[in-house]
Structures are given as structure tokens and as C-alpha cells.
Structure 1
Amino acid sequence: MSENHIDELSGVETTGHEWDGIRELNNPMPRWWVWTFYVTILWAIGYAIAYPAIPMITSATKGYFGYSTRAELQQDLDLAKASQTKFHDLIAAKTVQEIDADPALREFAIAGGASAFKVNCAPCHGSGASGGPGFPNLNDDDWLWGGDLEAIQTTIAHGIRFDGDTETHASEMPPFTDVLQPIQMKQVAAYVWGLTNTPSDPALAEAGKQVFLDNCAACHGEDAKGKAEMGAPDLADAIWLKARGEDAILRQVASPKHGVMPAWAGRLGDTTVKELTIFVHSLGGGT
């Protein structure tokens, strides 16, 4: 039996392994490291016995304590729901006016409404409720169907031009191609644009005033400020729902576009509709 090789430089015995003349020193691990390693093995065994750890075919071992992070989360959710129940019950029992007058209930409703808005309303009105072409901005004070609490609640609950709800808001602007001559449509477009901007032809705009009074004032009002009971927009402000400019107005007069909003009462329930109402009203544009 040959003696183990001793490294000349370090004086340490080698393991006997050699690669291209390079030998491996047989330096043992420090004892504290070895004992720490053993402790971690024991800890792992104990953990696997005490807690769910070993995967099975359809589940995992339950562990001695039967602990489950999912069960703990469910307990937290149950507690949160229980603490919210009294607020939901109050919201269900009160009118939106009563909810808005109660600071604590109003704060809870705004939080719930904001959450519901992000899931159900943001795809059309935007995450910040600022809207977009064809979708109203809910942060301003321009309301097609009214901006008080009751009006907002009705709009959310029953929608606009929604076939599935008999109480939905319903109004349509007729095409005026069979009523007005092409020159008259240009005149009224110039007049409406001139209410807030400089028309392309002041003479057209002046002539369009009478055309407007004869054909449009019944819905939009003689002052062109609109009528919320008919869903007719205010044409005397600088807010445009679909597009800006005389050409856009002319297209709307000739071939009107009408938006549709679904009724949310059947989908979300009365309580969530109230929360959405309070939230939308709180954005700053409610009256």
C-alpha cells in the first residue's frame, strides 16, 4: 500500500486525484461549516414533517400542523368581507343622496365604486374617466343625461339606447338629408361651430342661425345649451364628444352617430350601481 502524496509547497496531503500534473489538496471543511450543514438537513426534515412540503400526485403532504397559506388568505378575505358587510347593507338600504350625505359611507362607496369602475367602465371611459372620441369625459361638467346623483344612477342602471332594458335612455337625432338642402346643412354646421369658434364663413353662420332655430332648437334649445331630459348635448360649450370642426358637425347632421351604453343594474346589482354613482359623482363634474 503506497503512502499518500504530500504537497511540497503546502505540506498538505493530496487526495490522489491528478489532472495534467495538478494534484488536489485534501483540505477538510471547517467543523463549524460541517455542523451547520447537518443542522440544515435536520431543519429540512423537521420542516417537511411539520408543514406541507412533499408533492404527491394530486396534492401534497398536509404536515403535522396542517398549515396552508391559501387557508390563511381565505380567512383574511372572510374577515375583510365580514367587516364590509355592514357598509354594503347600509348602501343597499339607503338612497344615493343619503349615502352621499354620510361621510363614512360615502368614502366606502367611492372606494368600491372606483374598483368597479376599473373593471367595468374603464375600457370605454378610460382608467382616469377622461373618456375619448365617442366616449364621454366623466371629469368635466358636461352631461348628456344630467349630472346629479339621481340622473347618474339612472344612466348607469339602465344604460343608453340599450335594447335589453325597457327603461333605458332613448333618443336619436334624425338624419337631415331629407329635411335640409346641402347648403342649409353647411349653414347650420357653420353656425354651431361659430358658437364657440370662428366659422369658416361668417355669412354661412349667420344664415345657419335661423336654420338651427327651425330644425334643431326643439332638442338643443334656442340657446343651443342642450336638454338633459332628451340627451341632447350642449352645443354652446367647447366640449365635443365625437369630433371637432365644421366638417365633423356637417357629417353628424347628415348621418348622425349614436352611442350605446349597456345597462349595469342586471349585471352588477343595485349596491354596486350606487357605489359607481357616488364614485362618478365625486370625480368633480357632478352637480
Structure 2
Amino acid sequence: MEIGERDPVTGHLTTGHEWNGIKELYTPVPHVVIFFLVTTVLFAVVYWVLMPAWPLGTTYTKGLLRIDQKTSVERQIEEAAAERSAWTRKIDEMDFAAIQSDPAAMTIVQESGRTLFGDNCAACHGTTAQGGPGFPNLTAKAWLWGGDPETIAETLRVGINSANEETRVSQMLAFGRDGTLDRKQITDVVAYVRSLGGLSGGVQAPPESTAAGREVFAANCVACHGDDAKGNRDLGAPDLTDATWIYGDDVQSIQTTIYAGRQGHMPHWEQRLSATERKILALYVLSLSEAGK
């Protein structure tokens, strides 16, 4: 076979190579491929010159534009910090009432408070703030220590039965375990307490049991819960006449509470959250109860 022989089928020249009767055609690289290869090389060279590209021991080529992700992220962080500083300073300077009357400030409270609540409070109170067994429903307006923003912020600061020296302290005595009340007295006072809130689920207590429970309540419970059983916010004693129960409103749950006592716990956030963050969180939590969410 001669070099330069033209294949009669395709019209391409051959290379002169033949194997087992098969001749190799000379098919050069298409011009479009060469074009894209040259373009790619040129792009790479331009990129190497303009952008960070090559490692040089402990450093790297910075490029004429001196642009990289690290500097971009640092700039974004600085811009975010400056923006955050502006609105945190605004929140710091305003009192609770002023913030609540300022729609722009309350927008900040809603956006930042939602994040703060999700990161710090949702584990106990739930993502909807409606609590669960042992954890108060923050949307029900059943505040143990008071529902104004200053009081809520103080509760966040010192906690309840926490390690803070100024912690709020609240404890339900173990009337049964300590022998203060016998089984019948506990049964009677449970019947009376459930009657206060109009609870009728389960077995209906006889009227005489409810009447006896009223006497037990007057002798043992009014010191904390009050004569009207509406609680005492100075002591963190809950209102027993509403529909909100931290540990459950069924007979067994209330019996357990009276027999064994309760001592809830809320950590203090003074060291983890700044004063501004606690201020925002207090207003956010309060807004949940006002919206009835």
C-alpha cells in the first residue's frame, strides 16, 4: 500500500498502515476541536494571571484581581456584623414598650427571635412553643411568674431552680410521700382541683369527695395557690382554674403531682445569651402568646 492512497469509499487518504486487510485512514483532528483546545488553554492562562491559582509552598499566587473565597467570605461577615451592630444598638436603646410599638423593630424581633428560640428553647418547649408533659405551653398565656416582657426577660436571665444565685425557686411539695396527706385526702383534693377547671374526663368523682377535697385544699394548698386557686406569681404557683396543665389534667397525673411533688427546671441564659438576645427572645415568646399560636 502506498502512502497517500485515497480510500475509494470515504475519500480520505490512508496512512500506509495495514493490518489483516484493514487500512488505516488519515483523519486529521477537526478544526472545531483545535479551536476549543486553544480557547481552553488561553482561558486557563488568563485565569492563572488574574485569579489565585498556583500553590507556592506556604502561600499561593494571588492573581492580579486578588479575589478568592476567603476574602469574599470575610467581607460578607464584616458587612453582616456591621448590619447586625446597627439593629442591635437600636434594640438596646429602646425599651420594651417602644419596641412593641415599632413595626420595624418587631420585624427584627420576629426574625431573630425565631432563630434564637429554635436554637435554645425548642428542645424543651417544642418548635411551636406549645410545650409538652413537664414543659409549659408558652402560647397559652398561663405565665407562672408573669407575662410582661420585663418579667419574661428576667426569667430567661436567672432561670427556674437553676444554678444562678438569683434563680427563681418553685417547688410543689410531696404531700403523699412525706405523709402530709393520706390516700383518701389525695383522692378528695384531686376531685376538688379537677372540678375547679371543669374537668370531667374519666370517672366522675362523688360530690362528697369534692366537698372533702375543698377542705383539704383550704388546709394545705391555699398558701401557694391562693383561696381562689388562681395561683401566685410571686411563688411561681400555677393557676388551677384554667385549662393549662404542665404535667397533665387527668386523674393519675394530678395524683402523682400531689403525692410525689414537682420541681421543674429551666436553665439560666445569662451566660449563653446576651442581654439583647434575651430581650429579643422575651418579646418573641410574648408575641407567640398574643398571636394565639
Q: TM-score range by the shorter chain?
A: 0.7 to 0.9
Give the residue type in structure 1 aligned to 2:95. T
Residue 261 to residue 3, structure 1, CA distance change in 2 (3 Å): same
| The one of 191, 200, 205 aligned to 2:203 | 200
Preserved contact between residue 135 and residue 241 of structure 1 (Cα < 8 Å): yes
Q: CA deviation at 1:284?
A: 2.9
1:117 aligns with 2:117: yes
Q: CA deviation at 1:271?
A: 1.2
Does the aligned pair in 2 maintain the 1:149–1:286 contact within 8 Å? no
- Deviation of 1:87 after TM superposition, in Å, equals 2.4
Question: Percent of aligned pairs with the same residue?
Answer: 37
Give the TM-score, by structure 2 length.
0.85
**Structure 1, residues 124-170: CA drift from partner, whole Å, max 9, x if none?**
2222322222122222212111111121111111111112x222111
| CA distance in structure 2 between the aligned counterparts of 1:191 and 1:210, rounded to whole angstroms | 9
- Counterpart residue number, 1:259: 264
Cα gap change, 1:206 to 1:18, in 2 (>3 Å): farther
The structural deviation recorded for 1:33 is 3.1
Report the equivalent of 2:251. 246
| CA distances 1:198-225 after superposition (whole Å, capped 9, x unpaired) | 1524223332222122211221223322
Superposition TM-score, scaled by structure 1 size: 0.87
The residue aligned with 2:165 is: 166
Q: Which of 214, 217, 225 is the aligned partner of 2:222?
A: 217
In 1, are the aligned partners of 2:157 and 2:268 still within 8 Å (CA)?
yes
Q: CA RMSD in A?
A: 2.7
Q: Does 1:233 align with 2:238?
A: yes
Cα gap change, 1:5 to 1:267, in 2 (>3 Å): same
Residue 96 of structure 1: aligned partner: 96
Q: Residue 236 of structure 1: CA displacement?
A: 1.8
* 1:96/1:277 contact within 8 Å kept: no
1:184 corresponding residue in structure 2: 185
The verdict on how the C-alpha distance between 1:23 and 1:277 changes in structure 2, with shifts beyond 3 A counting, is farther
Displacement after TM superposition at 1:115 (Å):
2.2
Instruction: Give the direction of change, closer, same or farther, for the CA distance of 1:43–1:271 in structure 2 (3 Å limit).
Output: same
User: Quick check: 2:52–2:68 contact (8 Å CA) kept in 1?
Assistant: yes
Per the TM alignment, residue 245 of structure 1 is displaced from its structure 2 partner at its CA by 1.0
Q: CA deviation at 1:24?
A: 6.1
The one-letter amino acid of 2:53's match is A
Secondary structure, in 3 states, of the residue corresponding to 1:41?
Answer: helix
> Cα deviation per residue 1:227-277 (whole Å; 9 max; x = unaligned)?
222111122222221234111111111112222111112321211111111
Q: One-letter code of the match for 1:278?
A: L
Between 146-155 and 188-197, the greater mean CA deviation after superposition: 188-197
Secondary structure of 1:218's aligned partner: helix
Assess if the C-alpha contact under 8 Å between 2:188 and 2:212 holds in 1. yes
Cα separation, partners in 2 of 1:91 and 1:28, compared to 1, 3 Å:
same
Q: Secondary structure at the match of 1:267?
A: coil
In 2 relative to 1, CA 16–2 (structure 1 residues): closer, same or farther, beyond 3 Å? closer
> 1:86-131 deviations in whole A, cap 9, x for unaligned?
3222322333233223332232233222222222222222223222
Q: CA deviation at 1:180?
A: 0.7
| Cα distance, 1:84 vs structure 2 | 3.0
Distance 1:24 1:234, change over 3 A: farther
How many angstroms does 1:20 deviate by?
A: 8.6
Letter in 1 for 2:102: D
Structure 2: segments with no counterpart, 5+ residues: none
**Contact 2:175 2:258 (C-alpha < 8 Å) held by counterparts:** yes
Report the Cα distance in structure 2 between the residues aligned to 1:191 and 1:154, rounded to whole angstroms.
Answer: 34
* Alpha-carbon separation, structure 1, partners of 2:211 and 2:14: 107
C-alpha displacement of 1:14: 5.2
Q: 2:170–2:264: 8 Å Cα contact kept in structure 1?
A: no
